[in-house]
Every structure is written in structure tokens, then in C-alpha cells.
A = this chain, B = another copy of it.
Amino acid sequence: MEKIPYKIYLTEEEMPKKWYNVRADMKNKPAPLLNPKTLKPMGYEDLRPVFCDELIQQELDDTTAYIDIPEEIRNFYKMYRPSPLVRAYCLEEKLKTPAKIYYKFEGNNTSGSHKLNSAIAQAYYAKKQGLKGVTTETGAGQWGTALSMACAYFGLECHVYMVKCSYEQKPFRREVMRTYGAQVTPSPSDTTEVGRKILKEFPGTDGSLGCAISEAVEAATSHNGYRYVLGSVLNQVMLHQSIIGLESKIALDKYGVKPDIIIGCAGGGSNLGGLISPFVGEMIKGNADYQIIAAEPASCPSFTRGKFAYDYCDTGMVCPLAKMYTLGSGFMPAPGHAGGLRYHGMSSTLSQLYADGLMEACSVIQTDVFAAATEFARCEGILPAPESSHAIKIAIDEAVKCRETGEDKTILFGLTGTGYFDMTAYKSFNDGNMSDYIPTDEVLEKGFATIPDVKL
């Protein structure tokens, strides 16, 4: 076998032409979304006021395994994809580990993350439907940037509700979105009913994804020609993000490499879900076995300390309910530096896979994450996003275990993005001012109390 290159790039011909829908192969399907008013499963017509038509079909489709990627989207993908699958030779050497470490790097585009994979798809379907614009929320700012780019490309209006703590920590993110022509509002804001309500209930809050979602949904449904789009959690997003896992698998297969461990950071599940989809598909079919690990922040531990239950997707309870691992829609995460992982819930597909024992989860504290990020940056060159660094931390831990046991496991992790807009967080770490927050059981109980008692 020839030496594995530092970076494996697929050719345009090798790039996937279809997304993979893991739900089609799952034995236990993820539970359906529920109408927040009737608590009944939502169908196509129920979702039409909020979402784009074709995206609803993708959302509800749990039987079609492969879905064509339209040519317009594939052409956009060609501008920044394939993303490289990188062999972390330098990190391996630094750790003196017999493990082989690979990472799929999704940060080489202006949005700085994998979010563009779904943003361009969602903007495409909105344009195809003849809409005027879309609204959305953004946490770390990566999704909002990605959507702004996608909307600029297709000539759609874009209104972004940005979680206030990120809006303040990342002033330049807003400017990137503006450069792409988007309108950006810090959330919670007084521009929506739900925003005003949240501000009244939690004065001084620096927001959460859950709040911002509520505001964006309200803005979409109260303006003609608008729909709401979401960068994570939903099945459609996981479908679009399967491009990450598909490319990774093609690249590894090309060199006859089979990963033993697959790691991804998990906030709402968009990256992890996309990365693992085709691998999980193989597991379900009994063709292969992998150890899959979700890396989540100890400050917002949906998988490791949450409950598997139906819950509201947003703080304002205007969105559908999903069955998922959740800390409760009323859980208000403490300020922290991984805005993209501050979500109380989790993709219901990933939740079902976790409940079925097809994956594990592990939580990590913030200072450990930044120490891993810095170590990684210094030997692999890339300055990682705080979110991505949760996966780096677990990957390093696994590689160190291999050093101790002598096993030469193959580790694959998702490096979802870059940290160029997270220098406030790095500064806090460099200055030694970063603290770690782990919610007490009491805090969690308060969140759990907001989970409705729904049984289907």
C-alpha cells in the first residue's frame, strides 16, 4: 500500500452525487415532530408555514436512502469542496502514539465551518420555491455566515438572529454577514413578541440558540414570502451534512483505511450526524463496526446528563417538539466560548442512535478543550474553532490511551471549523482567565422541569 498523503482530496468525479439518509436504514426510526399546540405528529401541511416545501419532504422522508444532490448545489460545492481528509502526522509524532489520526477539515471556506453544506442546499430550495428570503438563528455565527453566503449566491434576502453572547464576543462575524448582504439582530431582541417575553423573564440574559430560534421562526411566519431555515438538529440538515461522511468514507476506502473510532463534536448534531451517517449505515447493515463518540461541553451536556424525551426545540415553545436527549427548553446555558454547542437538545436521529447503543458520548471542560486546541494548532497549523476542539480533545485522549496500551487504532474526527472569529475566547485562555462551568444537579433539575410530559 502506498504512503497515505498528508491530505486526501477527492477529484470532482469522485465527489458524491447523492446525499445519504441514514434514517432509511435505521431499525428504530427517529420519532416524528409534534405540533406544539396539539401535540400530534406533524405532517407536510403542518410544516409548510415554517419550512420550504422540498425541505419538508426531506425532513419527513425516512425511507429513501439516497437523495440526488441537485447540480446547482454540486456546482457550489465544487467551489469549496471536497474538503481535505488530513492525516495528522505531526500530532501523532507529538503525542508519540501508535494511533493513526485523521481529521476531516471543513473550515476551508469563508463561513469557517461545515455549515455551508446545508446552507447552500436550503437556500437553493428556497429560491426554487420562489421565496423572497429566509430567517434563521446563529449561535457561534458560523451558520449565519454560511447562510448569508448562500443567500448572496442565489440572490435571497437573509435575516439572522444571532445569540447575544456571540454577537458581542464576535463583532466581526456580524460584519462578514453584512458583507454578504444579511441583516443581523442580537437575540433576544425587542423585534419579536417572543424576544420581548424572554427579555422580560430573563433580564440581562446573553441568549441561547433556543431563544434565537423562537425569534427567527416568528419573523419568518409573520412576513410574506419568507421561510425559516435551521442549521442543525433537523433531519434535513443531517442529510445535507452526510456529504462530510460520504467524502471521508470514499477517501478512506480509496486507501484501504478503516477507522476504529469516529469522533465529532455535538451541539445540535449537524456535524456529528453528517460525519457518521454512512459509517452508521454500515454498522446497522452489519458490514462493519466502529466506536462512535459524541464530544459535548460539560457546560451543556445533553447526551451525557440529559433526558430522552419529547421536548420543545426552542425556548419560546413556538417550534415543534422533537424526541431527543434534552436538558429542557428552559435550560439556560452559562456563558461560554463554544456558542455552537450551547443547545439544550440534540438531533432526534442522533438521539435515537444513542438510545440504541450505536454511539457513545463524552463531555469535556472548557479549559481542557482550549489546551487541546492550542496543542493542535501548534503542530498541525490550523487554529481550530472552540466547538471543533471538543472533538480534538477526545481524539487526543484516545490517541494517548493507544500510547499506553500500544494499540495502533485508527481515529477519525471531524474538524468542523476554524477559530479565527473566536480570538476573544483564546485571549481568555491565553491570559489564564478562562473558567470551567459544570451545571449542578439542581440547575439541571430546573431545566428538566420545563420538559413537557408527552407520551405517544
What is the chain B residue whose CB lies nearest that of A150?
B381
What is the chain B residue whose CB lies nearest that of A181?
B378
Contact B423 A175 (CB under 8 A): yes
CB contact list, A90-145 vs B, under 8 A: 90, 108-110, 112
Q: Taking the complex as formed, is A290 at the interface, i.e. its CB lies under 8 A from any CB of chain B?
A: no
Contact of A110 among B7, B75, B76, B377 (CB under 8 A): B377
Given contact pairs A11-B5, A110-B418, A418-B110, A426 touches B179 in the complex (Cβ within 8 A): yes
What is the chain B residue whose CB lies nearest that of A172?
B423
Number of copies: 2
The distance in angstroms between the C-alpha atoms of A110 and B112, with both chains bound, is 11
Q: Taking the complex as formed, is A185 at the interface, i.e. its CB lies under 8 A from any CB of chain B?
A: no
The distance in angstroms between the C-alpha atoms of A381 and B145, with both chains bound, is 11
**What's the minimum C-beta distance from A366 to chain B, rounded to whole angstroms?**
15
Contact B179 A109 (CB under 8 A): no
Contact B377 A79 (CB under 8 A): no
CB contact list, A417-440 vs B, under 8 A: 418, 420-421, 423-424, 426-427, 430
Contact B379 A153 (CB under 8 A): yes
Q: Taking the complex as formed, is A34 at the interface, i.e. its CB lies under 8 A from any CB of chain B?
A: no
**A-side interface size class:** 35 or more
Q: Taking the complex as formed, is A382 at the interface, i.e. its CB lies under 8 A from any CB of chain B?
A: yes
What is the chain B residue whose CB lies nearest that of A76?
B381
**What's the minimum C-beta distance from A87 to chain B, rounded to whole angstroms?**
9
The distance in angstroms between the C-alpha atoms of A109 and B108, with both chains bound, is 8
Which residues on the B side are within 8 Å of A420 (C-beta)? 110, 112, 172, 176, 420-421
Q: Taking the complex as formed, is A78 at the interface, i.e. its CB lies under 8 A from any CB of chain B?
A: yes
**What's the minimum C-beta distance from A81 to chain B, rounded to whole angstroms?**
9
User: In this complex, which of A6, A418, A424, A426 has the most chain B Cβ atoms within 10 angstroms of its Cβ?
Assistant: A6
Which residues on the B side are within 8 Å of A448 (C-beta)? none
Which residues on the B side are within 8 Å of A418 (C-beta)? 110
Q: Produce 1/0 per residue, A69-80, CB < 8 A to B.
A: 000000110111
Contact of A377 among B179, B377, B378, B382 (CB under 8 A): B179
Contact B381 A427 (CB under 8 A): no
Contact of A427 among B79, B175, B181 (CB under 8 A): B175
The distance in angstroms between the C-alpha atoms of A240 and B232, with both chains bound, is 43
Q: Taking the complex as formed, is A62 at the interface, i.e. its CB lies under 8 A from any CB of chain B?
A: no
The distance in angstroms between the C-alpha atoms of A426 and B420, with both chains bound, is 16
CB contact list, A345-394 vs B, under 8 A: 374, 377-383
Q: Produce 1/0 per residue, A157-179, CB < 8 A to B.
A: 00000000000000110011011
**What's the minimum C-beta distance from A127 to chain B, rounded to whole angstroms?**
15
User: In this complex, which of A89, A112, A179, A427 has the most chain B Cβ atoms within 10 angstroms of its Cβ?
Assistant: A179
What is the chain B residue whose CB lies nearest that of A377?
B179
**What's the minimum C-beta distance from A77 to chain B, rounded to whole angstroms?**
9
**What's the minimum C-beta distance from A83 to chain B, rounded to whole angstroms?**
10
Contact A179 B383 (CB under 8 A): yes
The distance in angstroms between the C-alpha atoms of A90 and B79, with both chains bound, is 9
Q: Taking the complex as formed, is A327 at the interface, i.e. its CB lies under 8 A from any CB of chain B?
A: no
Seed contacts A110-B381, A110-B418, A152-B378; 12 additional CB < 8 Å A-B pairs: A6-B12, A6-B79, A79-B90, A79-B380, A90-B153, A110-B377, A153-B381, A171-B423, A172-B172, A172-B424, A175-B426, A175-B427
Binding site for B on A (CB under 8 A): 5-7, 9, 11-12, 75-76, 78-80, 86, 89-90, 108-110, 112, 149, 152-153, 171-172, 175-176, 178-181, 374, 377-383, 418, 420-421, 423-424, 426-427, 430
Query: 28 pairs across A/B with beta carbons < 8 Å?
Result: A6-B12, A6-B75, A6-B78, A7-B78, A7-B79, A79-B86, A90-B153, A109-B381, A109-B382, A110-B381, A110-B382, A110-B383, A110-B420, A149-B378, A149-B381, A152-B377, A153-B378, A153-B381, A172-B424, A175-B423, A175-B426, A175-B427, A175-B430, A176-B423, A178-B430, A179-B426, A180-B377, A181-B378
